[in-house]
Structure 1
Amino acid sequence: MTLDSQFDASALIQRARHIRLLALDVDGVMTDGRLYFQSDDQEIKTFGTQDGLGIKLLRQTGVEVAIITGRESRMVSRRAEALGIEHVMQGRDDKLEALQSLLARLNMELQQAAYCGDDLPDLSAIKHAGLGISVPNAPLYIREHANWITERPGGHGAVRDICDNLLTWQGHWPAMFDTYLHGKG
Structure 2
Amino acid sequence: MAQKPSAASAAPPATGTAAERASRIKLMIFDVDGVFTDGSLFFNADGDAMKSFNSLDGYGVKMLERIGVQTAIITGRQSGIVAARVRELSITHLYQGVDDKTVALAELLQKTGIAASECGYMGDDWPDLAVMRLCGFAAAPANAHPEVIQRVHWVAEARGGHGAVREVCDAIARAQHRYDELLADAMGA
| Interval containing the TM-score (normalised by the shorter chain) | over 0.9
Structure 2 contact 14–172 (Cα < 8 Å) conserved: no
Alignment of 1:1-185 (within 5 A): 4=4, 9-182=15-188
Q: Which runs of 5+ in 2 are unaligned?
A: 6-12
Q: Secondary structure at the match of 1:115?
A: strand
Report runs of 4+ in structure 1 exceeding 2 Å deviation. Answer: none
Structure 1 contact 52–83 (Cα < 8 Å) conserved: yes
- The answer to which structure, 1 or 2, has the higher relative contact order (CA under 8 A, 6+ apart) is 2
Structure 2 contact 54–161 (Cα < 8 Å) conserved: yes
CA distance in 1, matches of 2:14, 2:124: 21
Look up the equivalent residue of 2:43 and give its one-letter code: F
CA RMSD after TM alignment: 1.6
1:143 offset after TM fit, Å? Answer: 1.0
Structure 1 contact 110–128 (Cα < 8 Å) conserved: yes
Structure 1 contact 48–156 (Cα < 8 Å) conserved: yes
Aligned residue pairs, count: 180
Structure 2 contact 77–97 (Cα < 8 Å) conserved: yes
Q: Secondary structure at the match of 2:165?
A: helix
CA deviations over 1:102-160 (Å, ceiling 9, x no partner): 01110011111000111111011112210011122111111111111111110000000
Distance 1:105-1:176 versus aligned 2 partners, 3 A rule: same
Distance 1:21-1:8 versus aligned 2 partners, 3 A rule: closer
Structure 1 contact 125–132 (Cα < 8 Å) conserved: no
CA distance in 1, matches of 2:165, 2:41: 19
Look up the equivalent residue of 1:4 and give its one-letter code: K
Q: Which runs of 5+ in 1 are unaligned?
A: none
Identity %: 37
Look up the equivalent residue of 2:4 and give its one-letter code: D
